[in-house]
Amino acid sequence: MMLERDVERRLKRGIDRLGGLCLKWVSPGKAGVPDRIVILRGPTIWFVELKTERGKLTLLQAAMQKNLRALGCNVITLYGPADVDRFVASLDIL
């Protein structure tokens, strides 16, 4: 099984290949924010939480995702490398 940091690297490499940005989101004092902000032309912006295949969202992460969606944001949780590959492939057609 791939570690979460390796899943994160895979996403970054895939987004880099598309010419986008895959920024690490660190928000001191605000727990539960997604791991990455993906920015592509368009502008297309995604908030991405990364997990291993067996990972689970915390209650804070789920609440943050709900809040971001309520604001009209694109939010996704990716579980492992296969999810990352499918997500990147779906963005390649935009």
User: How far apart (Å, rounded) are the C-alpha atoms in residues 13 and 66?
Assistant: 27
Structural domains of the chain, ranges and CATH numbers in brackets = 4-92 (3.40.1350.10)
User: Is 0.85 surpassed by the pTM of this model?
Assistant: yes
> For 29-68, what is each residue's pLDDT tens digit?
898 999 999 999 988 999 999 999 999 999 999 999 999 9
Give the pair of three-digit tokens for residue 28: 């001191």
**CB–CB of 38/22 below 8 Å?**
yes
